[in-house]
């Protein structure tokens, strides 16, 4: 029965469609327009975030009375009055230990750093070796006798000391304390062996910077060109450098012809350390 009814209805529908003529298949063509595509984001917004900004209500600045009242309310929430000084604590003077193997330009970096960076004191070493031509006592080194050096050791007046090539050398504490009290950062330019001793003394309270050539191959070439060591010492130097670099916090590569880049990197390390929330504090 259902099939017969469906067939009859389908036949009737086809018949009406075939014999009925409409004047126009679309009765009102002028009222129907093609659907136009549109962007999800209106053309005058470049991002969804800008739409959010546009929909957000504009907050008018409070008048002076309301502004004062709002500031007082914020102070109540803080539990104290607003501080007029900087939010960060005062920066502590840094102690920077700078070292590297012979041939990487230690002296050149120190010399340039003196010229371009203010607020640094370059610690002067006391030594028992004779003064060399052109050196100035108190500037290049403090040239003292073995008896004087021994007395300083007994009075614990040296930050560190060592015996090298038949002579004593060490860093007097007095100059470090004096300049740190004035707010100066202290630079200690020492040999790698002395930097290792200073790491045990100062631990993490000082910044240890290792100067290096652009590669071990380049370091080997520079060492040979300097002609300041025996063949045996050159063979020992590279493995020794690999072993001791782990005692440092930073490595600065001093590439040939790019001294300025190396010096700027050392300055950046100092700036970064002084911007830390938890700063190093060295007690000498």
Q: Please state, in angstroms and rounded to a whole number, the distance separating the CA atoms of residues 226 and 222.
A: 6
Set 4, 18, 83, 132: catalytic member: 132
Q: Please state, in angstroms and rounded to a whole number, the distance separating the CA atoms of residues 70 and 82.
A: 13
- Own/partner contacts of 235-241, CB < 8 Å, gap of 24 or more, are 237/101, 237/102, 240/192, 241/101, 241/192, 241/212, 241/216
Question: How does DSSP classify residue 82?
Answer: P
Q: Please state, in angstroms and rounded to a whole number, the distance separating the CA atoms of residues 228 and 242.
A: 20
Nearest to 263 by CA among 115, 142, 122: 115
226 is catalytic: yes
Tokens encoding 109: 């970096």
Distance spanning both ends of the chain, measured CA to CA: 109
Set 237, 242, 278, 280: catalytic member: 237
199 is catalytic: no
Query: Which of helix, strand or coil describes residue 77?
Result: helix
237 is catalytic: yes
- Active site (catalytic) residues: 132, 226, 237
């Amino acid at each position: 029965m259902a099939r017969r009814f469906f067939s009859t209805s389908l036949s009737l529908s086809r018949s009406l469609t075939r014999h009925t003529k409409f004047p126009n298949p679309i009765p009102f063509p002028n009222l129907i327009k093609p659907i136009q595509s549109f962007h999800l984001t209106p053309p005058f917004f470049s991002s969804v975030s800008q739409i959010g900004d546009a929909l957000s209500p504009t907050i008018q600045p409070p008048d002076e009375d309301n502004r004062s009242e709002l500031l007082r309310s914020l102070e109540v929430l803080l539990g104290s009055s607003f501080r007029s000084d900087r939010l960060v604590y005062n920066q502590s003077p840094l102690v920077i230990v700078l070292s590297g193997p012979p041939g990487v330009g230690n002296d050149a970096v120190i010399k340039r750093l003196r010229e371009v960076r203010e607020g640094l004191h370059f610690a002067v070493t006391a030594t028992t070796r004779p003064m060399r031509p052109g050196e100035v006592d108190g500037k290049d080194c403090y040239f003292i006798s073995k008896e004087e050096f021994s007395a300083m050791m007994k009075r614990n007046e040296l930050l560190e000391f060592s015996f090298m090539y038949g002579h004593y050398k060490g860093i007097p504490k007095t100059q470090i304390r004096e300049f740190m009290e004035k707010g100066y950062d202290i630079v200690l330019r020492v040999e790698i062996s002395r930097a290792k001793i200073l790491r045990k003394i100062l631990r993490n309270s000082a910044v240890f910077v290792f100067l290096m050539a652009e590669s071990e191959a380049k370091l080997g070439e520079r060492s040979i060109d300097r002609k300041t060591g025996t063949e045996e010492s050159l063979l020992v130097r590279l493995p020794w450098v690999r072993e001791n670099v782990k005692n440092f916090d930073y490595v600065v590569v001093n590439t040939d012809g790019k001294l300025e880049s190396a010096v700027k990197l050392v300055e950046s390390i100092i700036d970064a350390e002084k911007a830390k929330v938890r700063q190093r504090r060295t007690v000498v």
